[in-house]
Structure formats: C-alpha cells, structure tokens
Structure 1
C-alpha cells in the first residue's frame, strides 16, 4: 500500500459581504488555513496584511469583496483581495511603488498600506472588469506575497 502525499499548492477563496466584521472573518479564515497546512512561520504576517487589505476594502467601497489565499509550489503564499473600487492605491499602483504617504504615529488610520510595503516580499494591483479571466465587474485586485523563511 502506497502513501499519499498532500500537494504543496492549494487555494482557498472566500466571498466577503460589505460588513464591518469582514476583516475579522478574513483573519480567522487565514489563521485556520495556514494552521491547517503547517505554515505557522508566516501566519502572523499574512493574517495582519490580509486584515489590512480587507478593512480598506470595507472602508473605501460599498459592495462585497473577495479573498483568495494561494500556496504556490516554491513556498510563497499569495493573498489577493478584490473589491469594486477602481482606484489602485500606492504602493500597489504603477512605479514608483514606494510612495506611500507619511502617516503620523498617533493617527487612527492610514498605516495599513505601509505595513504591506514593510512586511510583504512583493505586491501589486490589477484593474479588473475588462471581460478577462479576473472579471468580477468593475474594480481592482490587490495582492501581496510572503515567502516562508
């Protein structure tokens, strides 16, 4: 009898309603998926950055969002968050991608994209709605990747 090995690649997708609890649901989903796959080394970083992108989606749109968590074969984890707002913010837009506006330390909001810039290994943004494979209606897809140490 042979042994069965689990694949190194997998994807989880989650549709999130426009709800202030969506970031918490996204964090819990990421924590469960990464814990279940033994990816504890990057769990805190991926959970934090996912929460920031989902919270921004809720704050800046009036519609649902989608979350996709993908483990790639080379050990990278990719997280994508789609929403209906068409604007791709820095640092996700066109180069230079390092222009995230300064936010004072005592500000109540505005530090989330700086966290992505500091802790993700790579990131980007795509406009969607052109009828292509990512077409979910008008909007954007923001993504980041984290490598395991």
Structure 2
C-alpha cells in the first residue's frame, strides 16, 4: 500500500460514448475516496466531467481520463484524439444562457491551474487538457 505522500496515477480509457462521462465521474470518486481525498471529490468530479465531456462531444475517437497525485497536487486530465487546441475559456460575464462554452470557464474558475499540450498516445496524435487542485490546505 502506498504511503500518503507517495505519488500515484490512474488512467481510464473510454470509447467515444456519452455514457462514459458518468463512468469516469464514479471511477474518480472511488479513487479519491480510497486515497483519503474525499474533500476534493465534488470539485474533481465536476472538472473531470467537463474535460471528458468535451473530449467525447468534440472528437470522434476514444479518450483517456488521467488522475495523478504528486507533491500535494491532484491533476485531473483528459486525452483525446483531436490535436487542435481547446478554445480559450469564455469569461463568466460573457456567457449566455446557452449550454455551450461553459466548460473551460468552469475549469478556469475552480482549478488552481489548467492547460493543454499536444500528446501522442499509441501512435495517435491528440491533446491532453488538464487542471490542478491542491490537496494540502
């Protein structure tokens, strides 16, 4: 069993299917609970659902949810098969009543840091979009 301070990482590969979003949320909840990070579950679930939801909605290929804890930081990220960068987040004061465009604004508001990078996986080009939450108060 890893010590509390030891780094750990999990990856969950998913098909391009909207039903994968709640599976990712439940898996993340279980992982964080088992690692004693229950205080981060609600925020991390919301951010993971946005990241994976964007991957499923805006790409045609599979996606991967990655959860990593190291040095007091929880990183939640999603790899998808589209190498194009995500659009910049819309500021909250410019959001309309539509459902589109809120995901990255929510991530920017809730996470300490977020970003993206081009990333290949198993020979497929794509991108990795991630956000960080502090685990130490």
Structure 2 counterparts to residues 50-65 of structure 1, below 5 A: 50-65=48-63
Deviation of residue 136 (structure 1)? 4.6
Question: Which sections of structure 1, spanning at least 5 residues, go unmatched?
Answer: 92-98
Distance in 1, matches of 2:25 and 2:123, equals: 23
Contact 1:128 1:135 (C-alpha < 8 Å) held by counterparts: no
TM-score where L is the length of structure 2: 0.88
Q: 1:77 maps to which residue?
A: 74
Query: Which structure shows the higher helix fraction?
Result: 2
Distance in 2, matches of 1:124 and 1:34, equals: 22
- Say yes or no: does 1:121 pair with 2:112: yes
Contact 1:68 1:81 (C-alpha < 8 Å) held by counterparts: yes
Structure ID, larger Rg: 1
RMSD: 1.8
The 3 A distance-change label for structure 1 pair 46 and 58 is: same
Deviation of residue 75 (structure 1)? 1.2
The 3 A distance-change label for structure 1 pair 50 and 62 is: same
Structure 2 counterparts to residues 1-149 of structure 1, below 5 A: 6-8=3-5, 9-72=7-70, 74-91=71-88, 100=90, 102-104=94-96, 106-129=97-120, 136-148=123-135, 149=137
Q: Count residues with an aligned counterpart.
A: 133
Deviation of residue 58 (structure 1)? 0.6
Distance in 1, matches of 2:77 and 2:52, equals: 10
Distance in 2, matches of 1:136 and 1:49, equals: 27
Deviation of residue 21 (structure 1)? 0.8
Question: Which sections of structure 2, spanning at least 5 residues, go unmatched?
Answer: none
